[in-house]
Amino acid sequence: MNIGVIGVNHNVAPIEIREKVSFTDIQKIEAINYLLDKEIEEIIILSTCNRSEIYIQSKNIENKIKIVEEFYESFFNLPGVKQYLFTKKDRDAIEHIYKVSAGLDSIVLGEDQILGQVRDAHEFSMQLGASKKKFNKLFREAITVSKDIKTKTKISQQPLSISYIGVRFLEEKLGNLEGKNALVIGIGKMSKLTMKHLEEGKVNTIYVSNRSHGKIKEIENDYKNIVPIQYNDRYKVLNDVDMVISATASPHIIIKADEMPKIERKIYMMDIALPRDIDPDINKLENVELYDIDDLKQIHDKNDQKRKELANIGLGMINESIDEFVEWLDSTNIDPTIESLNERCDEIREDTLDYIFRKINLDNREKKIIEKMMTSALKRLIREPIINLKQTKDKGKREEYMKMVEELFEI
């Protein structure tokens, strides 16, 4: 099938490794162009807080997988990163993208955010011309089935995003959220969800800081109790809050240990960004407890077993769709034969028309009529063989028919 996926995710690598192989959009462009130059036919890069995965479609898939493994090491200048890489190919790789899209490979089973991230990754690659016929079909089918799974099973009905379990984690540490104060850094999707869950927990004040301060004004009316603060003042409010949740897209640490004020009372900090926003050394400071994405793995929701049961229903739906996709993928093997058949008909048409037009003096209208008649007749000639080829499910028979057509038409 010549499809593969290579990368790291929360199942195989700690956060210290995942954050080092996270792609920015500029890096995605560089990576895709580099791999296209290596004669890999289709490429999609999925880079989130929990995974950095490169999907490829190409001939000689084993060799191309090795190229991507070497690429990870050289591109990120990480000798030894290969020990953390996972690889899947053919049906296993196809199943992986379905499971990822449906949230069945996430830390929080059935979470919604990943579906949008898969869609964005596909669209990004299409814009670069790196996702073509096979990946367009695969990713669209995976996204469609994921939506169907969520509709049928309601697996995502309970809000269990990283933001949600992060807030619940902090609530457990604090005893409750009511009357507490929080600082949220960043105003992306995760930060907005975080603020929503904090409001639901009846937090008193939510200080919000973002590098682009003006963007906070855009969301100010969406929340009841947020207080915008300048990005440069983010350290100044630390002694006024009980918790900090940071979820920016910054490639660098934005809360540094050596710039921290003396913390006078207990404060909990949750870093749900990747690469991480908060300096890990902050955990050594007095009155501070710092947690990150990997700590959230320790949380087991009371509905987890139910979600697993619903996930099994989803897997059944996925397997049905994969069977259909694999059947379609197999059928694309006839495309070169059909293309050659059409090219052969075009040659016959051009040669025949050239001969007729040399022998008979015709005006332009008459030439157009004959050309249409010739084109229609040739299409009728090959129409039935093409339909029969496409409808033949037996792979052996289909290959036999393809060989026969190629020999009969000398293509």
Q: Which residues are catalytic?
A: 49
Residue 116 in marked binding region: no
Q: Which residues contact 95 (CB under 8 A, 6 or more apart)?
A: 88, 318, 319, 322
Residue 186 in marked binding region: yes
E strands within 218-372? Answer: 226-229, 243-246, 267-271, 288-292
Residue 191 in marked binding region: yes
Tokens of 177: 């959220």
Long-range contacts, 148-154 (Cβ 8 Å, 24+):
148/317, 149/102, 149/313, 149/314, 149/317, 149/318, 150/102, 150/110, 150/112, 150/115, 152/313, 152/317, 153/110, 153/310, 153/311, 153/313, 153/314, 154/310
CA 138, CA 132: separation in Å to the nearest integer?
A: 10
Nearest C-alpha neighbor of 288 from the set 265, 271, 254, 272: 265
Residue 111 in marked binding region: yes
Give me the helix-helix angle, 113-127 and 133-153, nearest 10°.
Answer: 160
Residue 53 in marked binding region: no
Residue 345 in marked binding region: no
Residue 214 in marked binding region: no
Residue 188 in marked binding region: yes
Residue 190 in marked binding region: yes
Residue 187 in marked binding region: yes
Q: Which residues contact 326 (CB under 8 A, 6 or more apart)?
A: 1, 91, 94
Q: Which residues contact 150 (CB under 8 A, 6 or more apart)?
A: 102, 110, 112, 115, 156
Residue with tokens 């640490």: 253
CA 276, CA 267: separation in Å to the nearest integer?
A: 18
Residue 281 in marked binding region: no
Nearest C-alpha neighbor of 49 from the set 275, 311, 301: 275
CA 143, CA 318: separation in Å to the nearest integer?
A: 11
Q: Binding site: which residues?
A: 48-51, 106, 111-113, 117, 186-191
Q: Binding site for substrate: which residues?
A: 48-51, 106, 111-113, 117
Q: Binding site for NADP(+): which residues?
A: 186-191
